[in-house]
Every structure is written in structure tokens, then in C-alpha cells.
Structure 1
Amino acid sequence: MMRHLPDHGLPLVQLKEQRRDLVVALQNRAGPVTGWELMQIAAVQQAISAFEEVIADLDAMEAAETADIEAA
């Protein structure tokens, strides 16, 4: 069963695409990875994790509100 996933207006998909592009660019070249490149990937990953936590919180709040309404 497919459940509806709300769009919270956060750029999560774009961040994941950016991370993928950075990683693929590193895989397709020769030479060592620089510290700057690692920092870019780490920063994007940190933003992704933060957005995922916010989304989880928003979903939990929505579920709690729905449960309160159904209980009333």
C-alpha cells in the first residue's frame, strides 16, 4: 500500500541529487580527493540529515494531531 508523503517544502531531493553528483564526479576521475571536496560532500550530507530530522518531527506532529482529532 502506497501512503501519501507530504511535501514539506524542503529541498531534500535537490540536496540528495547534489550529493550524488559530487560523489559521481569523484568516482569518474583520477587523482586524490581533496579536503575541500570531502568538506563539500560532508556539508551536503549534514544538511540532508538535518532536513530528514525536521521532516520526521513534522510527520510526528501531524500524526499526533490526527490522533487527537480522531480521539475527540
Structure 2
Amino acid sequence: FDAEAKTVVPVTGLPSDLAGFGGEPYGENGAMYIAVTVTGGDKPAFYRIDAATGRATKGLVIDAESVATAGKLTVRK
């Protein structure tokens, strides 16, 4: 959703057996990352959603029943 342009980009590529999302999405470099849980028996996975195109791509699969949230840790030297 772009409030200034008053436009909505539909998201495509999410699984058809979507059960829910894991908390707040994490955004970085024009993409949103969100945990997705499905009903078909597969493990939850993080999906990367391109903000410009709305295309969702499956990424990291989590060995768990559900995921509460997404985030990023930064190591400071």
C-alpha cells in the first residue's frame, strides 16, 4: 500500500493453503519478510515479498509448528 500514490499492489505467490502469518512483517531494501503457516502439513516458512511487484517468494523453512515474528540481528564490531 502506497499512501501517497493511493495505490495497492496485490501480493501473489503465497501458498493456496495459507493458515496465517507470524506477527509483524520485517522490511528492508524494498522487501517485506513475513512468516507464513499453512494447513497442508508443511513447516512454516519465511516469504520475501517484493514491495514494487507484490511477488512473494518462499525462503527459509522453519522446523517448528508456528513462528511468532520476524526480525534481524546485527553484529556490531
TM-score (norm 2): 0.21
Q: Which has the higher helix share?
A: 1
The structure with the larger Rg is 1
